[in-house]
């Protein structure tokens, strides 16, 4: 049975690079997207050209019901599913006094509840495998900006640790916490340089740094419950 991976938010940015990396390693790819259909089609073509299979799965992860149904749909096409990458997230600059029930629910649904329910379906429907959650270097501090986003990522940090215990030994659960790797949409290199200024390494990182961290988690089957901070040491300064 050929091994396969589900990557949420796999059409763009870090998710795209993780998908292409797994394809190069021989995994068939279940590529999830929501609104980035054009980019998903382009990424799928790149994956197919690498010689592995790829199917697209559109799902609005803000719906817990839809999130719970995604893995069963994937497994109908990819029985060898053994890797789940919870990469999809939303990033909104909402402060505490501007939080509404709708903002809080959407951020928690996409950034926390969806990984929880996807992990639940994945562990129930497969015999073993790897879950990698994408967090943020700021889970180590107590930020008040981007209030809902940071709250949801902190929740996912603790979920990573809890699931590593709950699902062992059949499943490994780890996370990657990127620092200044990619600027948010609408921002440029100046944003990254400013973000990296306070880090001991004094420079932004690269996609290759994320891929190297991911491959370490993919290939070392004695590592679980780890959250790798790929942030140039930024988390040491909090």
Q: Domain segments of the chain: what residues?
A: 4-237
Three state DSSP letters for the chain? CCCEEEECCCCCHHHHHHHHHHHHCCCEEEEEECCCHHHHHHHHHHHHHCCCCEEEEECCCCCHHHHHHHHHHHHHHCCCEEEEEECCCCCCCCCHHHCCHHHHHHHHHHHHHHHHHHHHHHHHHCCCEEEEEECCHHHHCCCCCCHHHHHHHHHHHHHHHHHHHHHCCCEEEEEEEECCCCCCCCCCHHHHHHHHCCCCCCCCCCHHHHHHHHHHHHHCCCCCCCEEEECCCHHHHC
Residue with tokens 């992860």, as numbered in its chain: 61
Are 87 and 15 in contact by the 8 Å Cβ rule? The answer is yes
CATH level 2 (architecture), domain 4-237: 3-Layer(aba) Sandwich (3.40)
| CA gap 90, 9 in Å, rounded | 10
Global pTM reads 0.96
Reported confidence tier of residue 184, pLDDT bands at 50, 70, 90? confident
pLDDT band at residue 145 using 50, 70 and 90 as cut-offs: confident
* 34-43, 95-104, 156-165: least confidently modelled range: 95-104
Question: Residue 91 above 90 pLDDT?
Answer: no
Per-residue model confidence as pLDDT tens digits over 18-43? 999 999 999 999 999 999 999 999 99
């Amino acid at each position: 049975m050929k091994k396969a991976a589900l990557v949420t938010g796999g059409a763009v940015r870090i998710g795209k690079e993780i998908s292409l990396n797994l394809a190069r390693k021989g995994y068939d790819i279940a590529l999830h997207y929501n609104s980035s259909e054009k980019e998903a089609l382009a990424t799928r073509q790149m994956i197919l050209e690498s010689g592995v299979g790829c199917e697209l799965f559109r799902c609005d992860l803000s719906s817990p019901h839809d999130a719970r149904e995604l893995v069963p749909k994937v497994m109908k096409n990819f029985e060898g599913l053994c890797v789940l990458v919870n990469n999809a997230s939303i990033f909104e600059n909402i402060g505490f006094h501007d939080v509404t029930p709708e903002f809080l629910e959407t951020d928690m649904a996409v950034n926390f509840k969806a990984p929880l329910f996807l992990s639940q379906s994945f562990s129930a429907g497969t015999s073993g495998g790897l879950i990698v959650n994408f967090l943020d270097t700021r889970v180590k501090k107590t930020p008040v900006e981007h209030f809902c986003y940071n709250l949801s990522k902190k929740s996912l940090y603790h979920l990573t640790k809890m699931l590593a215990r709950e699902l062992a030994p059949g499943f490994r659960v780890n996370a990657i916490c990127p620092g200044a790797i990619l600027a948010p949409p609408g921002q440029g290199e100046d944003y990254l340089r400013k973000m990296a200024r306070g880090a001991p390494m004094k420079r932004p990182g690269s996609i290759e740094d994320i891929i190297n961290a991911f491959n370490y988690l993919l290939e070392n089957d004695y590592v679980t419950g780890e959250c790798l901070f790929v942030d140039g040491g930024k988390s040491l300064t909090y």
